[in-house]
């Protein structure tokens, strides 16, 4: 049965792929985005775009008044770990404050469910991976702290207002739509795979590898890369699952790849060398972030379709070659 969904941040990287997936399976979507980091061209045809800001309670109210909506997918946030280390109060005020206004809007307009894009940055580097939902929450940055604050807000929204929620703790979103419709276009770009591809293609200076002295096999950080279309399918399964009650889920593949392994994958797939330089570690970067998604898999049957780093890189490379200026074309 077709449902009607409200997607904040639906013009962004993960958001656009989620909206495309929802439309592909027959649902209706309204995208709410201020386009500060998203792209009008990334909103899939068939979705209605409302340009608005979560800082504006009246704008949220006006958009939700156009309901009813079966659920909200909340993906809009400030999301740069490095920036949060420089401007902590910005992150600790904007992300929770915007979400509080959105929750209030959901309660006023009778939205029964909310799926929230949380983060793996909730977890400390001192814990032993893979991280499951019982791993202690010790955020590695003000960005991670802001997401932890929101998870507690959602808990109380459920306790007091009956809002059913899922907090989806993404590990590293990666890749692009396999059909070539949507991809990754950030300004500035901070994600490893597009940076590595662009270095291989000669579109930017040599890649900077932050730290080669971590306690990992090759000294570089290890991350769990989840294909963006797998995240989209996980979100839809989550909104159906929380009919049974609220939950928090770690979303990853259960495997990880180091920075140097990603570089080698890009070299294999592209047939080009990746120039890179080693720099000191960055603050807030854990050595290893790998998820256990066993709980989510057991409860929903979800399994990532993309588990090979080469397959993930192939989709990202194809989109970047066909869109050399991103959505700027």
- Nearest-angstrom CA–CA distance, 329 and 257: 32
- Nearest-angstrom CA–CA distance, 206 and 273: 10
Catalytic residues: 143
> What is the rounded radius of gyration, in angstroms, for the C-alpha atoms of the chain?
19
- Nearest-angstrom CA–CA distance, 324 and 186: 13
- Nearest-angstrom CA–CA distance, 92 and 80: 13
What H or E segment, with its residue span, contains residue 276? strand 276-279
3-state secondary structure of 131: strand
Cis bond leading into 188, ω under 30°? yes
- Nearest-angstrom CA–CA distance, 192 and 175: 11
The answer to whether the beta carbons of residues 140 and 125 sit under 8 Å apart is yes
Under DSSP, the state recorded for 238 is H
């Amino acid at each position: 049965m077709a449902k009607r969904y409200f997607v904040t941040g639906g013009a962004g990287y993960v958001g656009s792929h989620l909206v495309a997936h929802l439309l592909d399976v027959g649902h209706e979507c309204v995208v709410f985005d201020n386009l500060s980091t998203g792209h009008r061209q990334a909103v899939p045809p068939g979705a209605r775009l409302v340009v608005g800001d979560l800082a504006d309670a009246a704008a949220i109210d006006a958009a939700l008044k156009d309901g009813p909506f079966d659920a909200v997918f909340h993906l809009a946030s400030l999301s740069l770990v490095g920036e949060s280390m420089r401007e902590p109060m910005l992150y600790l005020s904007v992300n929770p404050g915007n979400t509080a206004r959105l929750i209030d809007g959901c309660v006023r307009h009778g939205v029964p469910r909310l799926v929230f894009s949380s983060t793996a940055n909730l977890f400390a580097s001192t814990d032993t991976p893979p991280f499951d939902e019982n791993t202690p929450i010790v955020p590695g940055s003000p960005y991670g702290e802001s997401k932890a604050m929101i998870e507690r807000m959602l808990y109380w929204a459920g306790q007091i207002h009956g809002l059913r929620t899922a907090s989806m703790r993404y590990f590293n979103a990666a890749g692009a739509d396999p059909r070539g419709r949507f991809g990754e276009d950030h300004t500035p770009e901070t994600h490893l795979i597009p940076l590595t591809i662009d270095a291989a293609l000669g579109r930017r200076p040599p890649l900077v590898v932050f730290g080669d002295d971590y306690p990992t096999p090759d000294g570089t950080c290890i991350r769990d890369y989840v294909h963006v279309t797998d995240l989209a399918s996980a979100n839809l399964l989550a909104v159906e699952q929380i009919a049974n009650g609220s939950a928090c889920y770690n979303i990853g593949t259960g495997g990880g790849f180091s920075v140097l392994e990603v570089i080698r994958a890009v070299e294999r797939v592209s047939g080009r060398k990746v120039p890179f330089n080693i720099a000191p570690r960055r603050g807030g970067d854990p050595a290893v972030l790998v998820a256990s998604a066993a709980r989510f898999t057991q409860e929903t049957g979800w399994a990532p379709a993309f588990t090979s780093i080469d397959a993930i890189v192939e989709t990202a490379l194809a989109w970047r070659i066909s869109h050399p200026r991103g959505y700027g074309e």
